[in-house]
A and B are shown apart, each in its own frame.
Chain A
Amino acid sequence: MIRIAIAAALLAAVSTPALAATHQVAAGDGAQTRLQEALILAQPGDEVVLGEGRFMLDDGLSLDADGVTVRGAGMYATVLDFTGQQGAGEGLLVTSDNVTLRDFALENPHGDGIKSKGADNIVYQRLRVTWTGGPKETNGAYGLYPVESTGVMIADCEVSGASDAGIYVGQSKGITVRNSVARFNVAGIEIENSRDAIVEGNMVTGNTGGILVFDLPSLPVMGGGNTIVRNNLVVANTTPNFAPKGNIVAGVRRGTGVMVMANDGVLVEGNTIVDNPTSGVMVVAYPMKFDDKTYNPYPRNVVVGENIVSRVGYDPQIDGKDQLLAAFGGSLPPVLWDGLSQDGTVALKVDPSMTGWTLGLAAQGGGISTAEARPGPLKVGVPAVGFALTGAGAPAELEARLVP
């Protein structure tokens, strides 16, 4: 009996730290050491508070303690400057759960900006990652990069200049990306091999491609889907692709608004999609050959609802564009489908207010613009009224951690 009481007391002590500590870190000499020490010594429940100013850092930072909040004085007031970074693959690496990151910026990290791996229930709020030289192939790959995590909230953030994706969520589930700005990246926002995501209210402009939802083969986590893309501004994604060509995003056509590839259950509605010269919404199968038997390369159950679309498809980065433009009267319709679907499943339904066209491809694995294409008007079904995906988005507990 006494033993049980002691055990219970110990448990209580572990789960509710007596008093959360605040670790203040100011910019200035020795910032690298002082900040990294604070991140190491922080205990669950603690806050690491970054002062105003520019922290000159020459190495990557990392956080491996659960339940820690790292917050600065604002995404323009507290800047972690990695211009002189010598090592590590990212500016800040988070590998612990229940972490909140808020109100600071990273500039010019040499690899990724903030990566969180296996970090469940993480909140990114009012963070800025900027490569200050504009779009360049030599910029780091991802701005915000949560991967292999359950529970991801990204809100009110801003990323520009990533040579791959500004905001990239991979191999995760329970995701919200909201009210954020992604500009001058190759891909603005990318949801990859992930489930149950909501991408809403974001401003995605000046990228090569706006919002990408897709699955890739041969990864530890596959089977992406159940994702909602709604009420975003997807405007003027006209920057030429500057990704190194080995990347999957190097294949993204300049001027792709929203792209859905090899996913099951994706709703695209309420978005304002303007000035995307290749396509407003593109729904395609994975274009390359693969040998992963567990991988489904086809889009399934994709619904394009009502969206406001204008000035798209006027300069498509697609073979035979002159003939296509002539055939469609000067610009391509808003929705592009490659024509591929898995036998027995419906690839795509489109609201009657939207028009579209199909490449009419006959088989997966030959690229999305091949000599075998038989372009024509899109003839697909109409979605049921009120089509809704359920269970998407970050857990409510993460909503509660956002501050006004």
Chain B
Amino acid sequence: MNFDDTPEEAAFRAEARAWIEANAPSHLLPILSGSGFGTSAEAGEIDMLAEAKAWQKKKCDAGWACLHWPQEYGGRGATPMQRVVWNQEEGVYAQLSFTFIIGQGMCGPTVMAWGSEEDKQRLLPPLAAGEDIWCQMFSEPAAGSDLAGLRTRAVKDGDEWIVNGSKIWTSGAHISQYGILLTRTDPSVAKHKGLTMFWVDMRSPGIEVRPILQAHGQSGFNEVFFTDLRIPDSQRLGEVGNGWNVSLTTLMNERLSIGSGMSTGFEPLLDYAIRAPGPSGGRLVDDPSIRSKLADWATKASGLKYTGMRALTALSKGEQPGPENSIGKLVAGTTMQDIAMFAIDQQGEAGVLTDPQRAAAAARFQQVLMRSPATRIEGGTDEILRNIIAERVLGLPGDVRVDKNVAFDKIPTRA
């Protein structure tokens, strides 16, 4: 047990820090440190997508992008620990790379595991360099938690597949060049067995993207419609009918990349509690009842951080990321919602204000309040994550499965 940098890690850290100091877009610091409510107003004329792409490209050219990917695909072949060190050093600038997280964190690894060598050479380097944005087209109107219940059909036609159907909640589809697409190729077998995965060019004829306005007033996810979309068979990822296993690669990486290292909002809360006045005149942090809550959240935040460290240690010893990684998003999602409510409550009636110029802590807590409901749903709901922990980690019996071994087209779809 040792938290100190090894000499190699220390050297890596010094190198990373020096490079970031010399190269980071420090003119964006005020925007990146503010809350999401303020981004557009403060950003003014600044094109944040262009800034994000520029930062990603700069990182990639200097060997700081997709650190754990092999060098030939645009990465650096770094160890998991070097990745942690980099993340610590990159700090708020990492927000610029959120746009690429689905591509680099989920789609890239899936292509790497299941794509042809030619695809990998062609698709991965521009993804690492931030030239391309990718989206993940899994969920459908009738298939979210029950992902294997999806209905978008792909039918073989010579060397091509013809795809019809629709996806929903596709984050970033409106700005993506590519996406991975899970389809049903055989409805006559059990639902997990008839699926096949592809990668697609989002500019192909037959794809229409319609943005959906989200509950917090921003537009991040989309509906995607396919009408006689043609995909060459060469863009298939994995065998026909093996789409479920391919999608598990994506989902495992999803849990790893969005769950691990996810902030609970505890640090900004502590910072606020140290500055803000408490009910009895002193500082908020000095109030006994508040201290007990702070203590609870502090242990959740640190517990998550060190659980993440243990997962990384296991990873660096060559172990595979397992279902236990579901804990990250489960704890972070609920904790950030609790913390946000608590923090706005401390602000009294002014807690409703969302203007970063007026609200405490640049309206960060108000922003988290409105965004956290999504965290508890995207990439697996709290309930599904608990099922995974109960069944796959603890070995408890699965839910009664009325759709088990039933041909997909015989499963009840209506109450």
A and B together in one complex = no
